[in-house]
């Protein structure tokens, strides 16, 4: 069977198969209960680490499994395909927290942190957003003041996925003057004195914790700085690009889950004497869903190919992210519509996915911010 795009080959399909096996064995049977109870079993990190799932897309020399961006996206798509976004987000926070450490961190830091995060021993989170703003990174307010060999961090971060349980936080701080030229990235260990963290209650993703974090005179060794002081802005922006490819892949997986659930249900449920799937109106809905998925896959695969080839594709990735967010919202909504009354009953995957479908049109850069960003990189200005 041919893969859907030349970026995939026999190896990627074998890995896809292994991830599906992992999901079927380790996630699917339990995730509904985890979600309802709002718990994340910590041992799942170690299991996913041992299975080589956490490390996909990360270099082998730091404990990764190799494979580049293709695999980075593939693993997110497959985890999302279970329909349990909370589990995926809870598990894969390292996907945005670790790349800045590997790109900008000292060799000592990379060797110390990456292997234990990629093996699932330690949890890492990225902390950028603040109560005053998320995407407006240039105006963030959390400060890190240099004092001898240490930075002293003060301020607060919010909406931080895995922020409550993270052992390592990759934190955006202000080390210099106002604007983007005063921003740095600093690794802050979760157990440092002066940190207080609260889990925020959300409309979905209950398996994943979302933290509000206070830093009150938190002392961090200066060697925890990633890259140059005041040179963090570019690293944050590059990291957003990677994150958004991963989000697009996740939205594709989640859309596919909705579509497959809807197809299954349409072949079980009878109304007016025939199967739902025998009603033309329902068949057209299913085809529209499949069309949306095909479009998202085409955009993602093409951009993965281009980025792997060395392009940055800021506008294209921003457009991909907002397109996938909107398409996924529509597909989740139509899946619930096909389920009818059953679609609003807890326990059906489509109910949860629909309830959660706004999250990724906001998180990782809202659709509006994405379009604004794209407009500034498309070669015209107004």
Partner 1 sequence: MKVLVPVKRVIDYNVKIRVKPDGSGVETQNVKMSMNPFDEISIEEAVRMKEKGVAEEVIAVSMGPQQCQETLRTALAMGADRGIHVKTDDVLEPLAVAKMLKAIAEKEQPQMIIVGKQAIDDDCNQTGQMTAALLGWSQATFASVIELGEGTAKVTREIDGGLETVDIKLPAVVTSDLRLNEPRYASLPNIMKAKKKPIEEMDPASLGVDTTPRVKTLKVSEPPKRQGGVKVESVQELVSKLVNEAKVI
Binding site for partner 1 (CB under 8 A): 1, 10-11, 14-15, 17-18, 21-22, 25, 50-53, 55-56, 60, 65-67, 71
Nearer to partner 1, 10 or 382 (CB): 10
Place of tokens 């699932």: 120
151 vs 22: CA distance, rounded Å: 41
Task: List the alpha helices (DSSP H) in the chain.
Answer: 10-22, 28-37, 43-50, 68-80, 85-91, 94-104, 107-118, 232-266, 280-308, 314-339, 349-356, 359-362, 367-377
Among residues 35, 77, 243, 356, the one annotated as catalytic is 243
114 vs 99: CA distance, rounded Å: 9
94 vs 206: CA distance, rounded Å: 18
15 vs 44: CA distance, rounded Å: 18
**Could you tell me the two tokens for 278?**
């025998």
- 117 CB neighbour count, 10 Å cutoff: 27
Q: Is 132 a catalytic residue?
A: no
Nearer to partner 1, 60 or 216 (CB): 60
Residue 182 beta carbon to partner 1: minimum distance, rounded to whole angstroms: 40
Residues labelled as active-site residues: 243
């Amino acid at each position: 069977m041919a893969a859907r795009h030349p970026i995939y080959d026999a190896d990627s399909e074998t890995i896809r198969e292994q991830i599906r096996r992992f999901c079927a064995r380790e996630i699917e049977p339990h995730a509904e209960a985890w979600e309802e109870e709002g718990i994340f079993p910590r041992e799942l990190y170690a299991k996913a680490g041992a299975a080589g799932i956490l490390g996909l897309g990360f270099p082998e020399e730091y404990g990764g499994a190799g494979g580049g961006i293709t695999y980075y996206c593939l693993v997110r798509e497959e985890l999302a395909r279970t329909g349990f976004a909370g589990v995926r987000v809870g598990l894969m926070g390292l996907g945005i927290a670790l790349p800045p450490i590997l790109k900008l961190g000292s060799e000592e830091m990379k060797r110390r942190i990456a292997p234990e995060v990629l093996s699932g021993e330690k949890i890492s989170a990225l902390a950028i957003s603040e109560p005053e703003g998320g995407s407006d990174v240039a105006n963030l307010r959390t400060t890190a003041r240099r004092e001898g060999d240490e930075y002293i961090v003060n301020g607060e971060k919010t909406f931080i996925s895995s922020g409550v349980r993270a052992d390592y936080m990759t934190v955006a701080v202000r080390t210099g003057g106002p604007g983007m030229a005063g921003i740095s990235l600093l690794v802050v260990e979760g157990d440092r004195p002066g940190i207080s963290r609260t889990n925020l209650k959300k409309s979905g993703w209950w398996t994943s914790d979302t933290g509000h974090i206070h830093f009150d005179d938190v002392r961090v060794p200066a060697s925890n700085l990633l890259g140059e002081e005041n040179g963090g802005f570019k690293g944050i922006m590059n990291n957003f690009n990677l994150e958004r490819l991963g989000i697009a892949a996740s939205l594709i997986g989640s859309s596919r889950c909705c579509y497959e659930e809807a197809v299954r249900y349409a072949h079980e449920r009878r109304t007016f004497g025939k199967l739902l799937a025998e009603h033309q109106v329902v068949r057209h809905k299913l085809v529209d869903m499949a069309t949306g998925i095909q479009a998202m896959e085409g955009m993602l695969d093409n951009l993965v190919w281009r980025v792997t080839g060395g392009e940055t594709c800021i506008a294209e990735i921003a457009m991909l992210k907002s397109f996938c967010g909107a398409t996924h919202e529509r597909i989740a909504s139509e899946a619930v519509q096909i389920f009818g009354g059953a679609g609003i009953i807890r326990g059906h995957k489509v109910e949860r996915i629909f309830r959660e479908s706004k999250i990724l049109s906001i998180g990782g850069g809202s659709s509006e911010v994405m379009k604004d960003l794209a407009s500034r990189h498309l070669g015209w200005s107004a």
